Structure 1
Amino acid sequence: MSAIRPATLNDLDALTVLLDGYRMFYQQGSDEAACRTFLYERLEHGDSCLLVHDTGHGPDGFVQLYPVFSTVSLSSRWLLNDLFVAPHARGRGIGRALMQAAANLAREQGVTSLMLRTQTHNHAAKALYESLGWQKSDDFDTYMLTLPATRS
């Protein structure tokens, strides 16, 4: 049975390792210090919803959602930005449980829709999303503008 709960600062050590693994999956260099700082800020500021899977031995997976608003529909949406399960814990339905918990929480909070992006070659993730009823949208193109880092 899955145990999904909101993350707390007590999860910071385990979440740091998970986030670092998540970033390395997306070909980013390991940087646990930056991951820890980023997670600490999210938890302290409460600007994301971070759920973890934990059966009593510490988190082995997480999903992170960010609130956004739709001017067109005049409603709130959540961006399901991150989903990761530690390699040793995969194949046990943890990703599915985290996705379902995210959808349930969104419904409870009155959120009208969830959205996500994934890499085009991430077939395992896309199969999971589609099995849960998510539908690929071709209504909009995604554009990105990378800005140079600014120094404070």
Structure 2
Amino acid sequence: MPVRPATHDDLSALAELLDGYRRFYGQAADLAAATDFAARRLALGDSHLLVEAGPDGTLRGFVQLYPTLSTVQLAPRWILGDLFVTPEARRQGVAKALMNAARGLAESHGIAQLRLQTQVENHSAKALYASLGWRRDDAFDHYVLSLPTAPAR
């Protein structure tokens, strides 16, 4: 299962994956917005996008990491913001390969910590994370404040 950085040549297939990810989380399909979002990430380099290609070269999943900083650790850390595998490729080790590649990329950049959040009811994702050594953060509660601005693209 080759996992590699996404390139501009992947944009169309990557946008399909991003749109599928958004629909998984209850958002309306919007391939044009997903394409714009992915194109901006690739152009700005403000995230690390890794993709997994199946035996025929078709993209079957992606993981996206966002750099940030920890004042407490006085070190960079990354937020694993997105992980998605197409329904037909699930339970084939794609998510595990993507997660391991994300870890390897972070380690190669000297990142002190990876963080992620998932839905409370996403039991299969939680089982994967636990199997890879991730632990649930019981020390902090997480809060969200939605602002009345247009989403960044």
TM-score, structure 1 normalization: 0.96
Q: Does 1:116 align with 2:120?
A: no
Where in structure 2 are the equivalents of 1:70-109 lying within 5 Å? 70-109=70-109
Structure 2 CA distance for partners of 1:7 and 1:150, relative to 1, 3 Å:
closer
The CA RMSD measured in Å over matched residues stands at 1.2
Q: Does 1:145 align with 2:145?
A: yes
Q: Distance in 2 between matches of 1:62 and 1:26?
A: 15
Q: Secondary structure at the match of 2:72?
A: coil
Which ranges in structure 2 are unaligned for 5 or more consecutive residues? none
Q: Secondary structure at the match of 1:78?
A: strand
Q: Distance in 1 between matches of 2:58 and 2:10?
A: 7
Amino acid at match of 2:104: N
Determine the structure 2 residue equivalent to 1:15.
14
| Residue-pair matches, total | 150
Structure 2 CA distance for partners of 1:150 and 1:24, relative to 1, 3 Å:
closer
Instruction: For residues 79-121 of structure 1, give each alpha carbon's deviation from its aligned partner in whole angstroms, at most 9, with x where no partner exists.
Output: 0000000111111100000000000110010001100000000
Moved over 3 A (4+): none
Amino acid at match of 1:43: L
Q: Secondary structure at the match of 2:4?
A: strand
Q: Secondary structure at the match of 1:81?
A: strand
Q: Secondary structure at the match of 1:60?
A: strand
Q: Distance in 2 between matches of 1:19 and 1:79?
A: 17
Which ranges in structure 1 are unaligned for 5 or more consecutive residues? none
* Contact 1:11 1:58 (C-alpha < 8 Å) held by counterparts: no
Deviation of residue 150 (structure 1)?
4.8
Determine the structure 2 residue equivalent to 1:61.
61
Where in structure 2 are the equivalents of 1:36-55 lying within 5 Å? 36-55=35-54
Instruction: For residues 12-42 of structure 1, give each alpha carbon's deviation from its aligned partner in whole angstroms, at most 9, with x where no partner exists.
Output: 1101111111001100000000000000000
Deviation of residue 58 (structure 1)?
2.6
Deviation of residue 139 (structure 1)?
1.0
Amino acid at match of 2:47: S
